[in-house]
């Protein structure tokens, strides 16, 4: 099975520059942040409501609780919001203050005002990656980058598995990129 591409730092900067040049940059940066900093799948990003992310006072929640209907595995999940994701969600709330008061509304919205589907999230990522000239990237690249970055920082594999919400450790391990540079760095630790 072909893995979604991991982005280099230069590609990630190019991705952000493209998002800044498009309509709805704050919304699109939010979709990217949910993928890269929370490891959410396209279907999970599309399923989020405002109330999943913001409380009734407009503050960003520190944990996103997703129902079984909102997740791929049909298991409810708690997704922790890190500081990078929190800052992006706060920007979203500042950009769209009238939107976040409707807690039942879909978090992401289209130009026509409706919510996103899993396929429109996939299409959004595809379009942005194409415009940025990044081949091989998909809506799953952020999720794979999330898992790989945690592993690269030395986070215990079981913790990474729990954060990725995988039932099997083997699934988590398939997400983690291994290359010659990482192998060389590992043996140099001895």
CATH code where residue 72 lies: 1.10.443.10
Query: 108 lies in a domain?
Result: yes
Looking at residue 120, what is its pLDDT?
Answer: 95
Looking at residue 1, what is its pLDDT?
Answer: 56
> Are 153 and 114 found together in one domain?
no
- Last residue of some domain: 119, 135, 151? 135
> Are 71 and 164 found together in one domain?
no
Q: Kindly give the parts of the chain with pLDDT less than 50.
A: none
4's torsion region: left (phi>0), alpha (psi -120 to 50) or beta? beta
Looking at residue 71, what is its pLDDT?
Answer: 85
Looking at residue 118, what is its pLDDT?
Answer: 95
> Are 124 and 46 found together in one domain?
yes
DSSP 8-state secondary structure symbol assigned to residue 185: H
* pTM score: 0.90
Query: 3 lies in a domain?
Result: no
Query: 109 lies in a domain?
Result: yes
> Are 60 and 148 found together in one domain?
no
Looking at residue 60, what is its pLDDT?
Answer: 98
> Are 32 and 80 found together in one domain?
yes
- In the chain, count of helices (H) and strands (E)? 10, 2
Query: 4 lies in a domain?
Result: no
Looking at residue 156, what is its pLDDT?
Answer: 87
Looking at residue 144, what is its pLDDT?
Answer: 93
Domain that holds residue 179: 142-188
């Amino acid at each position: 099975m072909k893995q979604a591409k991991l982005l280099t730092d230069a590609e990630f900067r190019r991705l952000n520059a493209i998002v800044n040049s498009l309509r709805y940059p704050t919304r699109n940066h939010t979709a990217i942040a949910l993928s890269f900093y929370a490891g959410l799948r396209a279907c999970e990003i599309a399923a989020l409501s405002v109330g999943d992310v913001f409380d009734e006072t407009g503050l960003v929640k520190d944990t996103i609780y997703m129902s079984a209907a909102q997740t791929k595995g049909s298991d409810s999940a708690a997704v922790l919001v890190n500081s990078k994701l929190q800052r992006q969600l706060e920007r979203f709330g500042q950009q769209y203050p009238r939107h976040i008061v409707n807690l039942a509304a879909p978090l992401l919205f289209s130009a026509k005002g409706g919510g996103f589907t899993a396929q429109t999230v996939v299409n959004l990522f595809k379009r942005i990656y194409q415009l940025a000239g990044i081949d091989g990237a998909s809506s799953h690249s952020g999720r794979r980058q999330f898992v790989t970055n945690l592993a690269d920082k030395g986070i215990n594999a079981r913790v990474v598995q729990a954060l990725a919400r995988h039932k099997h450790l083997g699934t988590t391990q398939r997400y983690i990129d291994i290359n010659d540079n990482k192998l060389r760095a590992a043996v140099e630790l001895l």
